[in-house]
Structures are given as structure tokens and as C-alpha cells.
Structure 1
Amino acid sequence: MQTETILYIILSGIIALLLALFQYKSKKKSMSKNNMLFSFLRFISIFSLLLLLINPKFEKVSYYTEKPNLVVAVDNSSSITHLNQKENVQQLVAAIKNNAALSERFNLDFFSFANTLKTTDSLSFSEKQTNIDRAFSDFSQIYKNTTSPILLVTDGNQTFGNDYVFSAEKVKQPIFTVILGDTISYTDLKLQQLNVNKYAFLKNKFPVEAIVTYNGNHAVNSKFVVTSGKATVYSQNLSFSKTVNSKILNFTLPANRVGVQSYKAQIIPIESEKNTINNYTNFAVEVIDQKTNVAIVSDFMHPDLGAFKKSIESNEQREVSIVTPNEYLLQKNDFQLVILYQPNNNFNSVFKSLKQDNANKFLVLGGKTDYAFVNANTLDFKQDITNQTEDYQASLNTNYNTFIIDDLDFESFPPLQSSFGSVTFSIPVETILNKNIRSIDTQQPLLATFETNSRREAVLFGENIWKWRAQSFLNTKSFNSFDNFLGKLVQYLASTKRKDRLNVDYESFYPGNANVVVKAQVFNKNYEFDAKESLNIIVQNKETKISSTFPFILKGNNYQVDLSSLAAGNYSFTVKSSNENISKSGAFQILEYNMEQQFLNANVTKLQRVATNTNADSYFIANTDGLLSKLLDDDRFVSIQKSSKNVVPLIDFNYLLALLILSLALEWFIRKYNGLI
């Protein structure tokens, strides 16, 4: 407590005493017992009041010891089982748990990682993907500003993600690597990569690119073969040597039938190969007999035009043409959907043509839009004309139920520029995104859809959507999320199909290393999303005829079920509603492929670089005897004594206030009892 505060307290006591004596001893040579009691109570009252005003405080310092964290991160992918390291890993984890010296010196935190990082020490070694980069990114946030050495137990084989050697340095913690596997080099032919489009068009040929690699010292001959069922559709003889150890093959295959066509690409193994699983890859192509042509009509250039084109054309079923209003009128019969970008008077003939054809359209309005023209040519809504612009953030309407929308973290997207003012709709609309200004919901739509006279329309009240696509890439390291969002909107607008009470969102085929997730929406008779429904999916393997039933789980504005546990094969399914007599059927295929079984050895070089770059050491799983001793003897990992300083009041405010009230009340009652009031 400061000296100044102590002096204030002493001075308050003197003032309180003098005032009490002045009031009850004034002009009296002696005091009665009652006056002495009254003086005491008055002293307590005045002194308590002054203490409340001064509010004296003192510093309370407490000391505690903070132990460093030892983060044990174990690779939980199926490659650990494939390399016969499962038992070695379990023994190492058990040794760490049972080591009393480690538990005394460190806070032990156990994680497993594969596709994602999980706070658990339960290991199954069955996950299909490994992303070490993501684990390091999570650790850099979890253990920021702490002493937390990391023990990374892995084979170092990453199936997707950025190079983890560079992301390891961002963790800013020593990373001790335990290498699972050996360094023995085996003779091996491998189908390193196969690139193919997801869609093809009937009676066309689609391109395929295959990259084949060879690891060995002697010259070998083999054959690359692509089969569909029992028929061989492509083959090529290949020769490799120590110097010529890779080949890039480019060829085309015919698309003769509509539907999902499955293929198997294979490099024929040689006799001395140990791992033949990485010699083949199954792939599929969906052959379609029609293509959606989309016209983006604009009379000036803008980055949004390129963003729309790239995003929509990410789906091979769609083709986008950027045209002027006059060019559109000459080619309008070639398009199934029209996007009108910031229309003005030059679009007059385009609006008349669309109205005459009762065609679907997508309006994009922004800072260069002629709103007087739009209001005059659109009966469904009116936009206030203020000649001022505003930047609007987006927030997802989770109650949107026209089609399934995933949350892309729209709140993190840059604002779109739009005209300031409210918009009034004359018909019912479904809002996908709302306008926000500095986190305040304006209750105005930023992106909305509506249907009228069998015509579907959407309106985006903002420009610079190219920034959204860029931000989506920064958030997810991929354009896929944003492209899928815009693709669903285009699919809805390009279709004239009547809305169903049960919508199911699924792919025709799934790669073997991808999650098989099916989404569904169910509506009541008023076409309102029903969040109280119970949905089940009955899945049947077409070859074995074995059926399995899985329940859907409500997640946001849709129901989801994860079917990743299903083995590779062809499946038919039926989604049924428990309370309503509605159902929908379909079929999909899961391709056989396990990325984790493509590796023969541990990636020793990268794991040793990770350890070296972070001032740590690397160990092979068979030689970890010195690892635990190294952790215990390292002077960087010692407990730190820390202090916590809190400023607390000398007397609790409530107690002091209660004492003040009590003293005043006693004085009043006693005076009243003695007839002095």
C-alpha cells in the first residue's frame, strides 16, 4: 500500500473522531454513556464513509511454478501400419506416459494428427491423409509464448499441404523428430500422379496425364496400361534406367457412354518390386451429354468478370462467355443463363428480350449501375437512389433453404461496394447473405434469390466479388469452396426443375482418399426447412448386396452423413424421412485408392531438416534410448517461477457499506428509544 494512502486513512480517522466529538461533546464538560456510544457510532459512520471515498488498495503478490509443456504428436495415418511401425509407436507412447521423471518436469500433452490435429492419445492408425503442415500451424497458435518442445513421431510422408519443413520454423519451438521406418532403398516403379478432368462430354475425347517414376540402378522395361472393366483402352511400353527415371504420358480416351465411367491406370510391376500398391490408380470420369453455357453481359471491363468466369468454369459442365449487350442479342439462343453485370441504358434491348423469353437471370449491381434504369425495368424490387456508395460486409442467413449453402466464413471476406440506401421487394425473396455495416445487421439483402412466373432470378447488391474469391483462397488454400458456392447458385438459376421437398447433395463418384459426405435438406408442406425431421440413408453395395443404414446429423441449415467408412465400390442409396412419406434415391461410386500405402520408406531427409532447423535432434524409432534423457537434461526446458500481482481493496466494498448502514441504523434506533428524536 502506498504511503500516501496510509496518510489519507490516518487523516480520515482523525477527521471522523473530531467530528464525532464535536457533535456530542460540544459545550459539555463530561459525556454520558449514551453520548459516548453515540460518538463511537458516529465515528464509525463517518470513518466508513471516508474509507469508501478513499477506497484504499494494496498489492497482493502470489508466486507459482510453471512447468514447460512436452507436446507428443503422433502420426495416426494408415501408413504407420503399412510400414509395420504400429507396435513401436505404441511402446514409445507408453514409455513416455510411464516415465515419472518426464511427468514431474513437463506437462505432457498428447496429440494425434493425420488430416487434422486432435487432442487425444487414442491411436487407430487408419486415417487416409497426412497433413503435417496443418499440425505445425495449429501448434504455432496453441503454444505461442510458451516453452513447449514438440516430439513428432511420424514417417514424414505428407499426402497434402504445404512443405512442412518451412512451416516448422514458424512454430518457434524445438521439434524432436522420431523417424518411423528405414532408409533402405528398394527397386520400385510408381504411378506418381494422374491428372484427369472430372467431367467429359459425350462423343468427345478427354485428356489424361500420367507421371510414372522409377527408383533403381538397373535398366528395366515395363508397360503402362489403362483398362475399363476387362477391356484395355490404352497401353504404352516404357523403359527406365538410373538416369532416365521418370516419364510423363499424355493421351486421350473416348467418352462414348453417358454416366460415370471407371478406369484403372497401371504400370506393370517388375519381379523385384516390394510395393505394388503404388503401381496403379483408379479414376473415373462423368460423361454428360449437355453443357451449360453462361453469358456475362457487360459493357465495361472489371476484375469481377474474370472471377465469375474462372469460378463458374471450374465445373467442366459449364462454359462462360463475356459479351457486350449487342453481342448477347446475336447469340442469346446459345445461353442457358445470363449474368447482367451493372446494367445501364445500353442493356435496354437485353432486358426486353429476357422479359419476352421469361428467362432466368442473375443481376450484379454496384457503383457503376444505373439504378434509375434498373428500377424502371424491374418490377420485383426497387432500390433507393442516393448517388452514394457504401461498403457492406456479408453475413450468412442460416435459414436459407432453397438449396444447400456452406458457410465460407463470409464475415472474414472483404466488403463489397454498393449503392447506399434500402431495397424494397414486391415479392417474397430468399436471402442468402445480409448486408452488415461495421458488424451491424442492416436487415437488407446482399445476395438474394426469388422465383416468379416460373422464372428464377438472383440479385447481388455489390461489386468486387473477385476479392471474395481471393480471400477464400487465403482462408482455405484453395478456390474450391468459393467455386462450389457460386456453382450451386448457377446450377439453381440455370435449372427450371420444380423445387422438391427433399434435396440431396452428393457426388457421382468419390476418390478413395476423400471424405464421402452426403448432405440433405427436407421441407414441410409450406417449403420451410424442417429442423425437427429425422433422416436416414440406406446404402447398398451393388456387388455384395449388403445394405447399411446411417442416420443424418443436423448441421446448420442442412443434414449431413459421413460415409467415409464404406469400402471402395459401387453403391445405390435411398434417403428417407421418418415422419413424412418422402424419399429420394441415387447412386455413387467410391474409387479404390489409399495414398498412405504409396510409400516404402520414411522421409528421413525432411524430418532431419525439421529437427536441425529448430535446434533439436532426430532419432530413429529403434534408437530412442537417449531421447528421454536428452529432454530431461536440456537446460532450455526448466520450470519457471512466476509471480502474479493483483491490486485488491483493503476492505471489501460490501462489508464497508454494510458497516456504515449498521452504525447509522443503531444510532438512530438508540436515539429514538431514548426520546432524543
Structure 2
Amino acid sequence: MSNQTIAYIIMSGIIALLLALFQYVYKSKKVASRKVLIPLRFISIFATLLLLVNPKFESVSYYEEKPNLVIAIDNSESISYLKQDAKARKLVEELVKNNQLASKFNIEAYAFGNDVSSLDSLSFSDKISNITKFFKSYNELYKSNTAPVVLITDGNQTLGSDYQYNATTNKQPIFPVILGDTVKFSDLRITQVNANRYAYLKNKFPIEIITNYNGNSDINTSLKIYLGNSVVFSKSLTFGPEKTSEIVTANLNANSVGVKTYRVELTPLANEKNTINNQKNFAIEVIDQKTNIALVSELMHPDLGALKKSIESNEQRSVSIISPKDYISQQNDFQLVILYQPNNLFNEVYEKINRLKLNTFTITGTNTDWRFLNSIQSNFVQDITNQSEEYQPILNQNYGIFIVDNITFENYPPLTSEFGAVTFTAPEQTILYKSINGINTDESLLSTFEVDRQKHALLNGEGLWSWRSQTFLDTDGFESFDNFMGKLVQYLSSNKKRRRLNIDYKSFYNQTESIKISAQFFNKNYEFDTNANLQITYTNKASNVSRTLPLLLKNASYSIDLSSIPPGDYQFTIKHTEEPITATGSFKVLAYNVEQQFLNADVTKLQFIANNSSGKTYFIDKADNLISDLFKDERFATIQKSKHSVIPLIDYKYLLGLIALALSLEWFIRKYKGLI
């Protein structure tokens, strides 16, 4: 408390005393009970003046903070496949319920597999083990705390980047408990099959197969590729201690349209313990044509490369980046023309588009000649201000032409475009609105519209490359942005009539991925109906077993996740329960359990993260010392901390009560003595 504040308090006391004496000594000399009334008047005045001065008091409190102990258990199928599930459950229970550890640590337990969650129960049924995802969450939650990790796993990761480089980011000690057998057995394995998702009719398509061998003797085997029961490729392979892997490349024929399921097999060894990893299924969808897209631009811009990569992520589509002059002379059969920042050099390009009745996707920016663009077409008009502005996107949740899901555009970088409003003369539907500083301007950033059976889209901004980059930063991949661009291009390159019930699904899924089917339903005015009752009936073609389930509304679509269904061929029907409107489709689920591909724990990686984090590894059969080692480790001591706080006097509610009490007593006494 400062000297000035102390002086104010003393002055307040003197003033309060003088006023009390003035009231009951000088002014009213014969007042009875003045010995009581003077202190009461002094208290009420002094306390009121103190509130005006409002001195501040310092408070120091002490508390103890225990370190955290994070227990992370692998909940994937590989643990039960390696017959370690019972031992893992027992160890987790011992750690969580141990009184010694509870007295020293705040114990937090998590399970990881497909996702990371607080430990509730263990099923060891997750199809994927993503150890990296756990460490990313852990590094965010405990980056400023002491939090050693007990990692109970076999170390075999089936999804995500290498966890060795994420585990030690926070430099916290890691204590891996290794589940699984460390004895090496002779084993043949198909590690990976690389194939495109699509192939073209009457063409050959390449397949790359990576094979591996663990063993101490020379062996011979054969690799075969089956289509149904027919062998379409065969090759003899030789492995040994010096040659433990081989990459096999095959070129197969695409003879008919549709989804073709292939099976790759390695002939097992006589004494091989795990033969599940000797085979792997893959599928190819054979299509009879490719969508050709012209990307016409006079500029060199990062957007061009981003668009080409995004659109061509689907092998059904091919993008040619060409100048306006070259496009005029091209004889290619393009289904869609992307016009990037048109200027007066595009005059003949527009003439050719109008002559051939082609669909277009116009992208504008700082180099767009808006006077030319406003005059060459009559579908929209932009106010010309010769000034640019940066606009961020806001997704229109009610857009109803095609399904927009798995992307929200939140926190996406702004696109640069002409300042001013764009006015459409044709009926349009907005996908993205412009926003400035988070305020929706209700102006179109991206819209689609149809005129004379031609489909068009207008993106009023440049900088798409930054959106694709942001998608990678947010999701560790480009898939959500590429899927969005793919749906937009698919709509623009198709001349199919609009339907009231649209469905979105893949022709085949791997057993380990999410099997999601989405649908949109529109009323008779083609407005998205948020109250529709949609249900799906799917049937396994082999067993003829059917099941009917409802679709749930999420954002601007109805969807269902069928990830739990077994492998096989399925056909499905989605229908509205109150109107005679249906849509049908079919898909395959390919059998492949990645968690059953391992015979041993990955001891090397687990020892690496333990050594690099100053931790220690334990095998599950010798984990008895883990509890005592953690308890005795002096690095994890309880820390006494102090909390320093400054509290103003006005925060003390008791002082207000004292003022009210003093005034009340004074009034009561004066009233009783007849002084009022």
C-alpha cells in the first residue's frame, strides 16, 4: 500500500471523527447515549470514505501442485490379435487404482485407436491404430505441465505420420510398456499395393506391389493376382537374409466397365505363423471415358497449379492449361472450360464457347478486365471501382445443387477481388458469401447458375492456392478441398437433369475407411428440405440380408455411416417415407484388416522414443517395476506454488454490511430516544 493511500486513510479517519463530534458534541450538547452514537456515526462515515479511497491489499496464498501421469492404452484390434488384451486390462487397472501413484500424481487415462478419448472401457476393436494422433493431442494438452507418459501398446501404427517424431516434442519422459511377442518368425508379407482408383476401358493399368520377407534362410514363393477365380498375373519370387523385399509391377487389362475386385496372394511358407498378411484385396473402377477440362489463362499464377492438382486428384478428370490463342485452335472435346481472369484476349474464346454450348467456370481477380467481361456476357455485371478488396468465405448451409460436406471454410485466407457488388441477371444459387472482418456482406463470392441448358459458376476472387494450403494445415491433407472442387467440377461438366433426391457415395470402400453415404432432398421448388424423412435400405448381395436405417441431418445434407458392415457387395435404396421418390446405388467393401498384419511388437521404435525422452521401456511380463520406478523418480516431485493477488477494498462485501448496520443502529437509537 502506498504512502499516499495511507495519508488518505488517516485523513478519512480525522474527517469522520470531526463530523461525528460536530453532530453529537458541538451541535447537540445534551444528547443522551452520545457515547454510542458518536462511534456509530464515525464508523459509517469512515467506512464510506474508505470505499471512496478504495485501498488495495496484497494477498499471498500457497498451494501444492502434483505432476500429471498420463496413461495411454492402445485400443486397436492388434492387441487382441496378439493375445495381449487381458494383460493390458490388468496393467491399466493396477496403474489407475494404485494408491502410491495417486498420492504422487494426478492420473489421467486415455485410449487411442481411430481417435483419442478419455478411458472409459477397453474393447480392443478399433480397426486403426493412430499413435501420432494421441501424441499430437497430448502435446497440446500438457505442453506447460510435468506429465510423464505410460504408453501401453505394441508400437505398430497403421495410420498417420511416424510417431517417433511427434512423441518427444514436449520433452516429457515416456515409459512404453511393450505388448506382444518379440521372437522373430519367418514371415512373408504384402506390405502395400499401389493402384489408381480408376482405369479406362480397353487400356492397361499399372499395379505396384511391395513384398517383404523376415527370416534367416533362402526361400522361393510365387505372387499371383486373381480377378475372381482367374489368375491374371503370376511371378516367382526369391527371398533370403540378404534380399528381404521386392517391388513387383504388373500391367493389367481393363476389359469391361464397372468395379473390378482383385486379390494379390503370396504362396505361404510351410511353417508360416501369420498367413493373413500374405494376401491383400484392391479394386479398380473401369470407366469408358475421361472428363476433359480446359483451364484457359493468359497469366502465370499459383491458382492454376492448385486447380489442376485439385481437379486431377480424381483420375476421371484431365485438366489442360492453355492460353486463349491455343484454346481457339484446339480440337479437343472439352466438357468444361475454366476461364481464369478473362481479358480482351478471350473474345474468340467466348465465341467458341457460345457456339459449342459449353459449360463454364469463371474465376476473376485483380487482373480481370471487368469492362470486357461485363460486355461479352449477359449473366452477371460487376460494379467497376478499380479498387480491390480481400473477402473471406462464409459457407451457405442452404446451398442445394450438390452436397457440400466435410469442409466449413472457417479461418480460410481471404481471396482478392474487385471492390463492389456483382449483380446476376440469371437465377443463381450462392455457395459462398463474401465477408469482411467476419461480417457477412450477403454478396456472392462463389455462385452457380444455369442459362439455356448451360451450367456456369463464378468465383469472384483469386488466391485459391491459399485455400488448398490451409486445408492441408487443418487436416494434414488436401482431401476435403479436393472433394469440394471435384463436386463443383462434376456438376459443371455434367448435363444431367436436376433431381429432387441426390446421393453421394463411392463405388468401393476399404474395410478400414469410413463408409459414408450422403443425400439431399429438395421440395417441389427445389429448395433444400430440412424436415425430410429419408431412410436407406441396404442389402448384402451374397447373404441377401437387408437392413433399413434412417439418415440423419447434418448441415445441408442427410448422411449415414455404415463403417461397421462386413466386407461384401451391397446395393442400396434411399427413399422418402412420405413421397414416392427414391435413388439407388451399389458399392463394394473390400476385406482387409490392417491390424492383423503384424506378428511382433515394434520394439525398436518404442525403445527409441523412451531413450530420446529420458524414459524407460518395460515388457508387459516384467512391468511390475514400473509403479515403484515412477514413485521413486525424483523428477516428478510435488511443487509448492504461491499465488499473489491484489484485492481492492471495494471487493469486501462485509464493509458494506458494516455501514448498513451502523446507520441502522444509529437511526434506531435516535428514534427510540425521540431525536427524530
Aligned to 2:121: 122
Q: 2 CA distance for matches of 1:667 and 1:498?
A: 89
Aligned to 1:413: 412
Q: 2 CA distance for matches of 1:42 and 1:433?
A: 69
Instruction: Indicate how the Cα distance of structure 1 residues 375 and 49 shifts in structure 2: closer, same or farther if over 3 A, else same.
Output: farther
Q: Is the 8 A contact 2:127 2:512 kept in 1?
A: yes
SS at match of 2:88: helix
Compare 418-427 and 122-131 and name the one that shifted more: 418-427
In the TM superposition, what whole-angstrom CA distance separates every residue of 1:571-616 from its partner, at most 9, and x where no partner exists? 1111222343322111100001011111111000000011111111
Compare 517-526 and 601-610 and name the one that shifted more: 517-526
How far 1:534 sits from its partner (Å)? 3.0
Aligned to 2:585: 586
Aligned to 1:610: 609
Q: Is the 8 A contact 2:24 2:31 kept in 1?
A: no
In the TM superposition, what whole-angstrom CA distance separates every residue of 1:398-421 from its partner, at most 9, and x where no partner exists? 222221112435233322221222
SS at match of 1:163: coil
Aligned to 1:12: 12
Aligned to 2:618: 619
Does 1:633 find its partner at 2:614? no
Which portions of structure 1, spanning 4 or more consecutive aligned residues, are displaced by more than 6 angstroms?
34-42, 657-677
Q: 2 CA distance for matches of 1:671 and 1:435?
A: 71
Residue identity opposite 2:531 in structure 1: K
Instruction: Indicate how the Cα distance of structure 1 residues 44 and 444 shifts in structure 2: closer, same or farther if over 3 A, else same.
Output: farther
Aligned to 2:546: 547
Instruction: Indicate how the Cα distance of structure 1 residues 339 and 662 shifts in structure 2: closer, same or farther if over 3 A, else same.
Output: farther
Q: Is the 8 A contact 2:51 2:650 kept in 1?
A: no
Aligned to 1:319: 318
In the TM superposition, what whole-angstrom CA distance separates every residue of 1:506-565 from its partner, at most 9, and x where no partner exists? 100001221111122222222222223332221110000111223322222222211111
Q: 1 CA distance for matches of 2:672 and 2:581?
A: 83
Q: 2 CA distance for matches of 1:235 and 1:171?
A: 49
Residue identity opposite 2:258 in structure 1: G
Instruction: Indicate how the Cα distance of structure 1 residues 413 and 332 shifts in structure 2: closer, same or farther if over 3 A, else same.
Output: farther
Q: 2 CA distance for matches of 1:22 and 1:574?
A: 95
Aligned to 2:244: 245
Q: What aligned pairs does 1:179-194 form with structure 2 within 5 A after superposition?
A: 179-194=178-193
Q: Is the 8 A contact 1:157 1:603 kept in 2?
A: yes
SS at match of 2:536: strand
Structure 1-normalised TM-score? 0.94
Q: Is the 8 A contact 2:51 2:649 kept in 1?
A: no
Aligned to 1:198: 197
Residue identity opposite 1:551 in structure 2: P
How far 1:653 sits from its partner (Å)? 7.0
How far 1:623 sits from its partner (Å)? 0.7
Aligned to 2:306: 307
Instruction: Indicate how the Cα distance of structure 1 residues 674 and 425 shifts in structure 2: closer, same or farther if over 3 A, else same.
Output: farther
Q: What aligned pairs does 1:159-238 form with structure 2 within 5 A after superposition?
A: 159-238=158-237
In the TM superposition, what whole-angstrom CA distance separates every residue of 1:639-664 from its partner, at most 9, and x where no partner exists? 22223333333354777668778988
Instruction: Indicate how the Cα distance of structure 1 residues 347 and 675 shifts in structure 2: closer, same or farther if over 3 A, else same.
Output: farther
In the TM superposition, what whole-angstrom CA distance separates every residue of 1:131-190 from its partner, at most 9, and x where no partner exists? 111111110001121111110001101112111111111132111000111221111111
Q: Is the 8 A contact 2:164 2:609 kept in 1?
A: yes
SS at match of 1:435: strand
Q: Is the 8 A contact 1:137 1:171 kept in 2?
A: no
Q: 2 CA distance for matches of 1:374 and 1:19?
A: 84
Q: Is the 8 A contact 1:397 1:432 kept in 2?
A: yes
Instruction: Indicate how the Cα distance of structure 1 residues 49 and 617 shifts in structure 2: closer, same or farther if over 3 A, else same.
Output: same
* Percentage of matched positions with identical amino acids: 53
Q: Is the 8 A contact 2:573 2:582 kept in 1?
A: yes
How far 1:279 sits from its partner (Å)? 0.7
Q: Is the 8 A contact 1:52 1:653 kept in 2?
A: no
Instruction: Indicate how the Cα distance of structure 1 residues 19 and 102 shifts in structure 2: closer, same or farther if over 3 A, else same.
Output: same
Aligned to 1:432: 431
Q: Is the 8 A contact 1:150 1:176 kept in 2?
A: yes
Instruction: Indicate how the Cα distance of structure 1 residues 676 and 331 shifts in structure 2: closer, same or farther if over 3 A, else same.
Output: farther
Instruction: Indicate how the Cα distance of structure 1 residues 587 and 10 shifts in structure 2: closer, same or farther if over 3 A, else same.
Output: same
Q: 2 CA distance for matches of 1:48 and 1:416?
A: 61
In the TM superposition, what whole-angstrom CA distance separates every residue of 1:232-288 from its partner, at most 9, and x where no partner exists? 111111112221222111121111111101110111112121111111110110011
Aligned to 1:338: 337
Aligned to 1:67: 66
Instruction: Indicate how the Cα distance of structure 1 residues 672 and 80 shifts in structure 2: closer, same or farther if over 3 A, else same.
Output: closer
Q: What aligned pairs does 1:26-45 form with structure 2 within 5 A after superposition?
A: 28=27, 30-33=29-32
How far 1:503 sits from its partner (Å)? 1.7
Q: 1 CA distance for matches of 2:146 and 2:31?
A: 70
Q: Is the 8 A contact 1:136 1:171 kept in 2?
A: no
Q: Is the 8 A contact 1:130 1:160 kept in 2?
A: yes
Residue identity opposite 2:121 in structure 1: S
Residue identity opposite 1:627 in structure 2: L
How far 1:668 sits from its partner (Å)? 10
| Paired residues, number | 676
Residue identity opposite 1:325 in structure 2: P
Q: 1 CA distance for matches of 2:629 and 2:373?
A: 73
Aligned to 2:49: 50
Q: Is the 8 A contact 2:187 2:272 kept in 1?
A: yes
Q: Is the 8 A contact 2:391 2:414 kept in 1?
A: yes
Q: 2 CA distance for matches of 1:641 and 1:38?
A: 49
Structure 2-normalised TM-score? 0.94
Q: What aligned pairs does 1:226-305 form with structure 2 within 5 A after superposition?
A: 226-305=225-304
Does 1:157 find its partner at 2:156? yes
Aligned to 2:471: 472
Instruction: Indicate how the Cα distance of structure 1 residues 670 and 400 shifts in structure 2: closer, same or farther if over 3 A, else same.
Output: farther
Q: Is the 8 A contact 1:311 1:487 kept in 2?
A: yes
Residue identity opposite 1:171 in structure 2: N
In the TM superposition, what whole-angstrom CA distance separates every residue of 1:425-473 from its partner, at most 9, and x where no partner exists? 3344322222222333332222222223322211111112112212222
Q: What aligned pairs does 1:346-365 form with structure 2 within 5 A after superposition?
A: 346-365=345-364
Q: What aligned pairs does 1:495-534 form with structure 2 within 5 A after superposition?
A: 495-534=494-533
Instruction: Indicate how the Cα distance of structure 1 residues 524 and 675 shifts in structure 2: closer, same or farther if over 3 A, else same.
Output: farther
How far 1:43 sits from its partner (Å)? 5.1
How far 1:626 sits from its partner (Å)? 0.6
Q: Is the 8 A contact 1:570 1:590 kept in 2?
A: yes
Aligned to 2:381: 382
Q: 2 CA distance for matches of 1:661 and 1:450?
A: 72
Aligned to 1:493: 492
Q: Is the 8 A contact 1:390 1:420 kept in 2?
A: yes
Q: 2 CA distance for matches of 1:501 and 1:528?
A: 9
Instruction: Indicate how the Cα distance of structure 1 residues 35 and 370 shifts in structure 2: closer, same or farther if over 3 A, else same.
Output: farther
Q: 1 CA distance for matches of 2:608 and 2:506?
A: 40
Aligned to 1:445: 444
How far 1:632 sits from its partner (Å)? 0.8
Residue identity opposite 1:518 in structure 2: I
Q: Is the 8 A contact 1:340 1:363 kept in 2?
A: yes
Instruction: Indicate how the Cα distance of structure 1 residues 294 and 22 shifts in structure 2: closer, same or farther if over 3 A, else same.
Output: same
Q: Is the 8 A contact 1:140 1:172 kept in 2?
A: no
Aligned to 2:147: 148
Q: 2 CA distance for matches of 1:353 and 1:16?
A: 95
Does 1:401 find its partner at 2:366? no
SS at match of 2:12: helix
Instruction: Indicate how the Cα distance of structure 1 residues 370 and 653 shifts in structure 2: closer, same or farther if over 3 A, else same.
Output: farther
SS at match of 1:171: coil
In the TM superposition, what whole-angstrom CA distance separates every residue of 1:43-92 from its partner, at most 9, and x where no partner exists? 56643442232123323333332222111111111111111111111111
Q: 2 CA distance for matches of 1:85 and 1:269?
A: 25
Compare 291-300 and 352-361 and name the one that shifted more: 352-361
Q: 1 CA distance for matches of 2:171 and 2:532?
A: 48
Instruction: Indicate how the Cα distance of structure 1 residues 382 and 240 shifts in structure 2: closer, same or farther if over 3 A, else same.
Output: same
Compare 419-428 and 598-607 and name the one that shifted more: 419-428
Q: Is the 8 A contact 1:396 1:407 kept in 2?
A: no
Gaps spanning 5+ residues in structure 1: where?
none
